[in-house]
Amino acid sequence: MRGVDIMGIVSVANLKKTYGDFTAVDDISFDIQEGEIFGFLGPNGAGKTSTINMIIGLSRPTAGEITVDGIDVRTQTKKAQALMGIVPDESNLYNEMDGFDNLCFCGALYGMRKEEREAKARHLLEQFRLKDAGKRPFKAYSKGMRRKLTIAAALIHSPRILFLDEPTTGIDVESARQIREMIAGLKNQGTTVFLTTHYIEDAERICDRIAFIAKGRIVASGTVPELMESVSHGHAIQLVTDENAESLAAELQGRFEGSRVEVRPDHSVVIISKQRIPLLPVMEYYNDKGIAVYEARELRPTLEDVFVKLTGIESSMLKKEKEKGGAGR
């Protein structure tokens, strides 16, 4: 058997989930290393929540293996759950209870003693900027506040792994920003984070590694640079000039052998090459021609470009889902 340090704190092997004839998760495998933020990206219905539910023990796999810190989730579910903090895609605390009592109750479910859970609840309310709302019933909270309290509730027992299912969907911009900061802060404290989202920008900003899931299968995984590298066909730089230099396209192409030059009507020029392109000769060329260059930057594919290319799912579809989900940007 492989050691925990090699297989990761969460290890999923050949996981499958079917509901009748429908296959929600189709033979997926991945490892999450301790202390990393692992993003699980895909459109609605891709199998993200089905996967998370199997890992946290809320759903039984049809086939495959899941271990959390070396513990088999299928046979020792409760032991594994003690290590986890779980934030479902819906804020599901108790409406009648106030914020403080909700947090204390969640701490009690993990066997925390009264003084310990009350001290931690006060600390979390402060950390999540909910101190003033601590005595208000959960039903009176705004969407963003509900989301933050639900995350705080998952952290009350200081879990080693935090599962976040769509944490920023449908909430206000400020709350979404605070949640992203909080996730980054958790990483600094050594907490492992498993994040499912269909907000590609969120994943790009905060995740160490990302797996793309579509139609129940993982289509690619790796760090953001690795994923970008996998679809990149070379390097590209874009220059913004003070005049339209369309007539110079052929001359530029001849001057920079092995490159392709695109002169665009918006006064910009894109030079594409398999090798990295040094900027100075290009700048000198324009200088000699008496054309001012206002801006020069390297063009990289965005993670959304990578996602679209690898999954074949149009970004417009993701955008529609975002709009349905609400603000959160």
User: Least distance in Å: CB of 205 to other proteins?
Assistant: 28
User: Least distance in Å: CB of 81 to other proteins?
Assistant: 5
User: How far apart, in whole angstroms, are the C-alpha atoms of residue 307 and residue 291?
Assistant: 37
Number of residues that bind other proteins (CB under 8 A): 28
Give 289's contacts (C-beta < 8 A, 6+ positions apart): 245, 248
Q: Is 313 helix (H, G, I), strand (E, B) or coil?
A: coil
Residues 127 and 181: beta-carbon distance below 8 Å: no
Nearer to other proteins, 41 or 54 (CB): 54
Give 298's contacts (C-beta < 8 A, 6+ positions apart): 235, 236, 237, 238
Binding mask 3-42 for other proteins (x = CB under 8 A): ----------------------------------------
Residue 34: which H helix or E strand, with range?
none
Nearer to other proteins, 110 or 285 (CB): 110
The window from 49-57, 210-218, 235-243, 259-267 that contacts other proteins (CB under 8 A) reads 49-57
Nearer to other proteins, 60 or 255 (CB): 60
User: How far apart, in whole angstroms, are the C-alpha atoms of residue 182 and residue 83?
Assistant: 19
Does 297 engage in binding with other proteins (CB under 8 A)? Answer: no
User: Least distance in Å: CB of 68 to other proteins?
Assistant: 12
Dihedral sign for Cα 76, 77, 79, 80, please. positive
Nearer to other proteins, 43 or 61 (CB): 61
Nearer to other proteins, 113 or 274 (CB): 113
Residues 179 and 147: beta-carbon distance below 8 Å: yes
Nearer to other proteins, 26 or 304 (CB): 26
Q: Is 294 exposed, middle or buried (0-12, 13-18, 19+ CB in 10 A)?
A: exposed
User: How far apart, in whole angstroms, are the C-alpha atoms of residue 175 and residue 182?
Assistant: 10
Binding mask 59-88 for other proteins (x = CB under 8 A): xx-----------------xx-xx-x-x-x
User: Least distance in Å: CB of 27 to other proteins?
Assistant: 19
Q: Which of residues 94-153 bind other proteins (CB under 8 A)?
A: 94-97, 105-106, 108-113
Dihedral sign for Cα 209, 166, 79, 152, please. positive
User: How far apart, in whole angstroms, are the C-alpha atoms of residue 67 and residue 8?
Assistant: 9
Nearer to other proteins, 92 or 223 (CB): 92
Per residue, the 3-state secondary structure of 234-281, as one string, reads CEEEEEEECCCCHHHHHHHHHHCCCEEEEEECCCEEEEEECCCCCHHH
User: Least distance in Å: CB of 163 to other proteins?
Assistant: 10
Nearer to other proteins, 20 or 258 (CB): 20
User: Least distance in Å: CB of 42 to other proteins?
Assistant: 20
Residue 1: which H helix or E strand, with range?
none
The window from 58-66, 213-221, 255-263, 271-279 that contacts other proteins (CB under 8 A) reads 58-66
Q: Which residues bind other proteins (CB under 8 A)?
A: 53, 56-60, 78-79, 81-82, 84, 86, 88, 90, 92-97, 105-106, 108-113
